[in-house]
Chain A
Amino acid sequence: EAGVTQFPSHSVIEKGQTVTLRCDPISGHDNLYWYRRVMGKEIKFLLHFVKESKQDESGMPNNRFLAERTGGTYSTLKVQPAELEDSGVYFCASSRGLAGVTRGIHEQYFGPGTRLTVT
């Protein structure tokens, strides 16, 4: 079974440009999460999809960030226009549907991350 994949692995852009990050979850996983780690700090939640619907986008920093998950498969995270403070590592994770989850156990499988550098 293929794991979670992310593309690109590294992106360097100038302030004001647009970047789109892609995440391909494990096949059959309904839940897809985006997280971000900035400057060696804690990893912070951005948003959560259940299939194609946004379940929780409370962690999205501002309206420069747009996430989509068309057809409930892969997801994209677009930053437009990028600012210096957007630099960091963006992680995607997926997990199976909660209906099959036993008490309290909800394992998320993470991708390798996309390192975004805004100059």
Chain B
Amino acid sequence: GDSVTQMEGPVTLSEEAFLTINCTYTATGYPSLFWYVQYPGEGLQLLLKATKADDKGSNKGFEATYRKETTSFHLEKGSVQVSDSAVYFCALSKIYNQGGKLIFGQGTELSVKP
């Protein structure tokens, strides 16, 4: 079945460091790909998304490119801030034959130190 695999955390970085969180997926057809973020004490928020190969999603300085050839959707940010400390979830969905349910990776906890 379809699945998403993320790099395990926790990840601890210093402020202004470069961030990469790896995400790979296994899916038939043409899934849409998402990154969700959960800040402490809050619900999940959509961070960015991409719907087809080579699409780049971006938001708040974060970027991820839909790579069909490597089945990946790695999250990157050039300079992290303390406020980026959160849990990040990679996910996929297939609307047209699965009703849009999201399939998540296990989440990667990011801690950014001043």
Residues of A within 8 A of B (CB): 3-4, 31, 33, 35, 37, 40-45, 48, 50, 55-56, 59, 91, 93, 95, 98, 101, 103-113
The CA-CA distance from A40 to B105 in the complex, in Å, is 11
Closest chain-A Cβ to B8's Cβ sits at a distance in Å of: 10
A103 contacts across to B, CB distance below 8 A: 51-52
Q: Within 8 Å of chain A (Cβ to Cβ): is B73?
A: no
Residue of A nearest to B4 (CB): A42
Q: Within 8 Å of chain A (Cβ to Cβ): is B18?
A: no
Residue of A nearest to B36 (CB): A110
The CA-CA distance from A45 to B91 in the complex, in Å, is 11
Residues of B within 8 A of A (CB): 4, 30, 32, 36, 41-46, 49, 51-52, 89, 91, 93, 95, 98-107
Q: Are B52 and A104 in contact (CB under 8 A)?
A: yes
A109 contacts across to B, CB distance below 8 A: 46
Among B32, B103, B104, point to the contact of A104 (Cβ < 8 A).
B32
The CA-CA distance from A59 to B42 in the complex, in Å, is 24
- A-B contact sample (11 more), CB < 8 A, given A43-B89, A44-B104: A4-B43, A33-B102, A43-B91, A48-B100, A93-B44, A105-B32, A105-B49, A106-B32, A110-B36, A112-B42, A112-B43
Closest chain-A Cβ to B57's Cβ sits at a distance in Å of: 11
9 CB-based A-B contacts, threshold 8 Å: A43-B44, A56-B99, A101-B95, A105-B49, A110-B44, A110-B45, A111-B43, A112-B41, A112-B42
The CA-CA distance from A86 to B89 in the complex, in Å, is 21
A3 contacts across to B, CB distance below 8 A: 43
* Most A-side CB within 10 Å, residue of B52, B89, B93: B93
